[in-house]
Structure 1
């Protein structure tokens, strides 16, 4: 049963200090703090090259550790991405393709490994990962409460723009504990500041930069449409040979009448949210830096997926979208004794975090997974220049489509709800299954029942020219398609490592 915020605070201040907070002799395993703000795309952080955003805490943190410049998620929806992160398995292995098929109690996951190995596992924020039966097996204590001030819809129902997610400014102070994300960070900080039982894991999955587009006081207007227009131009709308959803989102959300300035405004507000997320991260670091915990605590920063945030005249994300602004997320890690200021240019998948954390915790992984540890990179090594990373999306069966999921249908059936147009888009236009394969030079998105994509990343970093089927790239495209078949064959299922006796059991007694 989930803890209330009040009870969680009581545990932090009273109960845990009474527990044994001294490590067992010889136990030098690090603590782990994982800051995981939702819908945060990599290119919108200063340390990832954004030309004007203010993210001083992320930037300073990156200088203290390792930044992975090409970290890509396994799916561009919250739950499937998170399920992959904690299991180290692709969507197609056990079908974690939807928002409501979460990690089951019988499935191995990173948090269960850590708890079984003696870690105190603290969870502050949203779920979208574990089934209810998994929580007691995987987590020591958890509490729910996320969000930050967002204002109200800038448009009335029925007006064009109502479905844009753009909100009005909000007068709530940025440091108000009514901002749920900050409150979760405060609870985590209280836990760490009060003689916590070690080793521990803190998982902080906050709302982050998830729409609606609005921000606490002082952050909403931090940047302007003109800043975006002149210093960080958006990707244009109506790019040729893009998948159907590029036009579908504009159509169903009734955004066809708006010009570039409107979407630049959306992007400016999104950047304001990111700056608040950065400020909140600074509050978390204050609980670690300069304290004894700094010497034995590894801190990870990442996200479940990105956001269109006005690029292509699009908003939010798309379950079958493989655009770089959706798949590419921050992955910044600082570990005790790690290399400072290291940048890994080679690609990784976000579920590599699982393999890395379990290796650092000296835990023997006993299930088949496909994540690759990047511990060596945290000590200065380069990545694998020949690695291909993958992401999956889309649906095949009627029930997979969110408007037909009984658990979510209410959000898609009421025209006044923000996800109503997306539901209509899913129902009428569909979301064909797809697989993305990306290496340092090329990106392939294969859709057997939709528009496939191929990009020459050396000459088209923003993915504006789809050259799928172009004779110039025929050889490399053919090879990547062949590699995709091999990858699917080699990862299509997993064999459980536990063994069953082949003989008959003893007959029942009568």
Structure 2
């Protein structure tokens, strides 16, 4: 509790300081500051700016309203660590070497943060890192969660390799550490601050003040909730369903033993009491009394999942508001680019699932919005296909740093300036991690504006093809039908896929296509 009081005092001190811009030198003029807030598993379908009227995300929405929102932002490998590796390197997983969460990231390769440092930027990463190695000299300052980290009273590893415990809620602590760094940074340099959120990663533990915040909402079942997976081997093979995979104790906090469970032993008395009162006395009692079975049980699990997921996101939005307020109060807003994105999309009951991994739209597509007052027209909507490997070259170009030829992404600064000519017409994707967890079969493929062609490989080799105009939910695999009725289309899409495997030097995919 003492540490919580210290943090509260820190916030009061920070917000009462004179404007940081008053002490900044002219050296920062022309080089914008950059704050990149990267959440975990936060789908665009849970954000108000993307049309969800149930989501309470006013601060995230504010970034979109005051800048640009991307409607077709995609990832190249829909899983946590590889997505961060793509951000740092501007390269596909097979090139940067981090193809799955089971790897160890090579911190000594090219990272855009080092290039920004060479260009005069002071750099920091605070929060979730999840790359199975330490940042070392990749950032001037870092303070990261070990592995996935914990929601309550988490440990952090700092740049001195000290592991320290912080009392409180992880999203709040990350913000405090971030604003502390902003206060104490070198005022004569522009800065890059990467804020890595743990939320909204499984097991979806809301802050104490957010418990029950969505209990008055009945979430509509997605149209594909009871998907039969007909004609789709990989979809039928997965282990990420709300019905079968989602665990009543671990995921939904039903009948938890708060004294023995390792997650809840971390909680202090106040936190544990709040959780026992809500999940024990209310939610578990409701579950035990109702004795639900069949579809009624599955739909009850869905409602509980959604309420916890959205409640967990509340703290992310609230803390983004604190960061925006900090910039306003310290005269930093006009010369600071602020970005909000997530490491990938996520399933909110579509196909009966949670999690990510597949090339299907819900996990391929990720939220992205950026505010850059001197460049981006307020309320801009960008519909071109943009990738997470494009983040690094864009930030380097904005900062006036050199974009090395080894980067595979493409700067989307021209899109922000509304000066783009030709832009990519297809997205290339490759997912590797199998069989654990969630049994998603490895696959690669392309997404064009109308079609998605996918090759699954490994224990089973097969193709899938979807017409996104006619079948946006991707329920009908038309590969065999088109092979017979429109072979020219199939041939053309395979040729386009081959172009991507060559362009991005994916030797494994090229070899599989030649078999």
- The TM-score bracket by the shorter chain reads 0.7 to 0.9
Query: 2: distance between equivalents of 1:92 and 1:293?
Result: 38
Aligned to 1:332: 369
Give 1:87's match in structure 2, choosing from 86, 89, 96: 89
- Please name the residue that 1:468 is paired with: 479
Tell me which residue corresponds to 1:116. Answer: 118
Aligned residue-pair number = 424
* Cα offsets for 1:372-411 (capped at 9, x unmatched): 111122223568565211221025xxxxx58xxxxxxxxx
Other-structure match for 1:441: 450
Cα distance change of structure 1 residues 252 and 55 upon mapping to structure 2, 3 Å threshold: closer
Distance in 1, Cα, partners of 2:186 & 2:109: 29
3-state DSSP of counterpart to 1:364? coil
Separation in 2, partners of 1:483, 1:185: 44
| Separation of aligned partners in 2, 1:220 and 1:234 | 28
Aligned to 2:414: 376
**Contact 2:92–2:389 (CA under 8 A) maintained in structure 1:** no
* CA distance in 1 between partners of 2:236 and 2:360 (Å): 10
Shift of 1:233: 5.2
- Cα deviation, residue 113, structure 1: 0.9
Secondary structure of 1:33 counterpart: strand
Query: How far does residue 268 in structure 1 lie from its aligned partner after superposition?
Result: 3.2
Contact 1:149-1:215 at 8 Å conserved across structures: no
CA deviations on 1:31-60 (whole Å, 9 max, x unpaired) are 110000111111221111223212111112
**1:441–1:144: structure 2 CA closer, same or farther, 3 Å change rule?**
same
Cα distance in 1 for partners of 2:315, 2:329 equals: 23
Alignment match of 2:245 (pick from 253, 266, 272): 253
* Deviation digits for residues 342-379 of structure 1 (CA, Å, limit 9, x no counterpart): 00112111121111100011111234122111112222
1:346 aligns with 2:384: yes
Which residue is equivalent to 1:34?
36
Say yes or no: does 1:364 pair with 2:373.
no
CA distance in 2, matches of 1:368, 1:386: 18
1:67 and 1:384 map into 2 onto residues whose CA distance is 20
Which of the numbers 492, 501, 513 marks the counterpart of 1:488? 501
Q: Is the 8 A contact 1:21 1:196 kept in 2?
A: no
Q: Mapping of 1:48-87 within 5 angstroms?
A: 48-87=50-89
Whole-angstrom distance in 2 between the partners of 1:384 and 1:227 = 44
Instruction: Measure how far apart 1:467 and its partner are.
Output: 1.8
Task: Decide whether aligned partners of structure 1 residues 275 and 450 sit closer, same or farther in structure 2, where only a CA change above 3 A counts.
Answer: farther
In the alignment, which residue of structure 1 is the partner of 2:313? 274
Shift of 1:259: 2.5
Distance in 2 (alpha carbons) for counterparts of 1:229 and 1:286: 34
Partner of residue 219 from structure 1, selected from 183, 199, 210:
210
Residues 386 and 180 of structure 1, relative CA distance in 2, 3 Å threshold: closer
Quick check: 1:458 aligned with 2:469?
A: yes
Give 1:241 deviation, angstroms.
Answer: 2.3
Q: 3-state SS of the aligned residue for 1:107?
A: coil
Give deviations 1:94-148, integer Å, cap 9, x for gaps: 432121434424411111111222211111112124843xx33311111124554
Query: Superposed, which structure 2 residues align to 1:424-439 within 5 Å?
Result: 426=439, 431-439=440-448
Q: Note if contact 2:37-2:196 (Cα within 8 Å) is conserved in structure 1.
A: yes
Residues 128/386 of structure 1: CA separation in 2 closer, same or farther (3 Å cut): same
Query: Taking structure 1 as the reference length, what is the TM-score of the superposition?
Result: 0.75
Counterpart in 1 of 2:161?
none
Counterpart residue number, 1:3: none
Match among 184, 204, 213 for residue 195 of structure 2: 204
**Higher mean C-alpha displacement, 29-38 vs 375-384:** 375-384
Q: Is the 8 A contact 1:186 1:284 kept in 2?
A: no
SS in structure 1 opposite 2:488? helix
Structure 1: how far apart are the matches of 2:301 and 2:497?
39
Change (3 A) 1:243 1:140: farther
- SS in structure 1 at match of 2:34: strand
| 1:295 alignment partner in structure 2 | 334
Residues 464 and 267 (structure 1), Cα distance of their counterparts in 2 relative to 1, 3 Å cut:
farther
Name the SS for the 1:370 alignment partner: coil
- Cα–Cα, structure 1 residues 102 and 71, in superposed 2: closer, same or farther, change >3 Å? farther
Displacement of 1:149 in angstroms is: 5.4
The counterpart of 1:355, out of the listed 389, 393, 399, is 393
> For residues 410 and 452 of structure 2, what CA distance do their matches in structure 1 show?
20
Structure 1 residues 467 and 308, CA gap change in structure 2 (3 angstroms): same
Instruction: Quote the Cα distance in structure 1 between the aligned partners of 2:133 and 2:150.
Output: 22
Asked if the contact 1:83/1:130 (under 8 Å) is kept, the reply is no
Q: 1:207 to 1:105 in 2, by over 3 A?
A: closer
Partner SS state of residue 480, structure 2:
coil
> Post-superposition shift, 1:26?
7.3
Q: Distance in 1 between matches of 2:132 and 2:32?
A: 24
